[in-house]
Amino acid sequence: MNSSDGHSNRASWSGQFAFILAAAASAIGLGNLWRFPYLAAQYGGGTFILLYLLLVVTLGFTLMVTEISIGRMTRQSQLTAYSRLRPGFGFIGLLGTIIPMLIVPYYCVIGGWVLKYFWTYLKIACGSASASTALADSGAFFSGFISSPFAPFGYGAIFILLCAVIIALGVKNGIEKSNVVLMPVLFILAVGIAVYVCCQPGSADGIRYYLVPNMDALRVDAVAASGEHVRVFSWMQLAKTVLGAMGQMFYSLSLAMGIMITYGSYMRREDSIEKSVRRIELFDTLIAVIAGLMIIPVVYMFAVKTGTPIRDAMNAGPGLMFITLPKVFADFGSAGALVGAVFFLLVTFAALTSAISLYEACVASVCDLLGMKRVNATFFTFFVIAFLSVFSALGYGAWSSVTLFKMPFLDFFDFITNAVLMPIVAVVTCVFIGWIVKPALVEKEVEATGHRFTAVGLYRMMVKYVAPILITLLLFSEICRNLGLFGWRI
């Protein structure tokens, strides 16, 4: 296939670094800043991190190379790319387009929550006594905000509009230039907060808890033949840890969301796909690890100080960011408001870069399918996303009595996309490339313009055999975990 046929007017990145920065910005989002730290703390700190790194450089590498190659060779978004490669397989692209279209609305609602916290902390830092009083009980503040009749939608709509404005400006003038500003600022803020936290008295124990491999996390309680209670290695616990790391990898690297196919379609043929993927993985993992250094030590110190069991404090899930951390910031005294404002500014930037990527995957699909101009497609998509966001915004408030599979709307959309559709699209893509169009098609694209595919042996083995099996296991695991089937918990 000649990738330039009929697509000579398609937008492109200004260079390889611009592509790497955009793809890394997509990967660095809320998954890095709250999900990675609490999963690492839950599954043995360094033990989880090592397993995560192993999965990133094998499974994550395989899926990302595949998606970027599909995008660059077809010069299409995920909606139309698969049918270009082989007629009759457009259904994969359709499923891949539904994913970002369902994720963006609820992701922007959560982005609105982050905006609300940033604004509140900024007011406290500027001396607002009323804002300080409102946030004094972080649990009541959070539940009161997300259950209010309009505020969650209003803040979410502002977040969606910010994304729309950047995307309407185009690939180079909008997405690329915004990343040039947001990514360095995000990195500097993350490093600054991490250094501040690590310099706090008593942080060393929390750092060790986070970074040192804890093999006890792979053991379970048992009774020896002598009747003594002991801790023994558990293959089931190892499986849970691997599946937890794999789920985080999907969430963190923006895989099976159509983003990498779309961004790959803007990539120049002279740029190396393999080198780009390795650098994206490096940036993403670095920010994830730094995020843990921002969060885990202070939560650990706070738990010790208040007498809260460490695992209970770490297993707070989303509440870790919106309930536990505000309590920690309050414990910092007068500096807490400023630290809170800087932290939630950082989270806002991270959420914004990921939301832009998801939004762009939707806009590119509309452009490719309907032939609309970018600006028109952007604001057409804006109204669709804003409408869909109403369900997640009101799902904890006015519509809290309405549930799907006993889940609020936001939780259901998260479940159906991350736990069901993403693994399905990833498995089908691996089967499609590994057994139908054959891996040589991707290998040829990776080696375009003289680049050598150094990991070609790993790629063939993963895409044909290992990846489909692992992802299928993840699919069943996530369905069982979310629906409470067979007592499976991760």
Which band of pLDDT confidence, cut at 50, 70 and 90, is reported for residue 471?
Answer: very high
Residue 83 lies in a domain: yes
Residue 434 lies in a domain: yes
Report the candidate in 151, 152, 109, 114 with the shortest Cα–Cα distance to residue 326. Answer: 114
Which band of pLDDT confidence, cut at 50, 70 and 90, is reported for residue 489?
Answer: low
Residue 232 lies in a domain: yes
Residue 190 lies in a domain: yes
What pLDDT is attached to residue 317? Answer: 65
- Mean pLDDT over all residues of the chain? 91
**Tell me: the pLDDT tens digits for 158-215?**
999 999 999 999 999 999 999 999 999 999 999 999 999 999 888 999 999 999 998 8
Residue 413 lies in a domain: yes
**Tell me: the pLDDT tens digits for 272-286?**
999 999 999 999 899
**Tell me: the pLDDT tens digits for 210-255?**
999 988 888 888 877 777 888 888 888 888 899 989 989 988 888 9
Whole-number percent of the chain with pLDDT over 70: 97
Residue 429 lies in a domain: yes
What pLDDT is attached to residue 318? Answer: 66
| Residue 2: pLDDT over 60 | no
Residue 243 lies in a domain: yes
Residue 4 lies in a domain: no
pTM exceeds 0.85, yes or no = yes
Which band of pLDDT confidence, cut at 50, 70 and 90, is reported for residue 316?
Answer: low
- As for how many domains the chain has, the answer is 1
Higher pLDDT residue, 152 or 252? 152
What range defines the domain where residue 23 resides?
A: 16-487
**Tell me: the pLDDT tens digits for 321-352?**
898 889 888 888 888 899 999 999 999 999 99
| Residue 20: pLDDT over 90 | yes
Which band of pLDDT confidence, cut at 50, 70 and 90, is reported for residue 5?
Answer: very low
What pLDDT is attached to residue 91? Answer: 96
Lowest mean pLDDT among 29-33, 116-120, 156-160, 387-391: 29-33
Whole-number percent of the chain with pLDDT over 90: 69
When pLDDT is averaged across residues 472-490 and rounded to a whole number, the result is: 83
* CATH number of the domain that residue 348 is part of: 1.20.1740
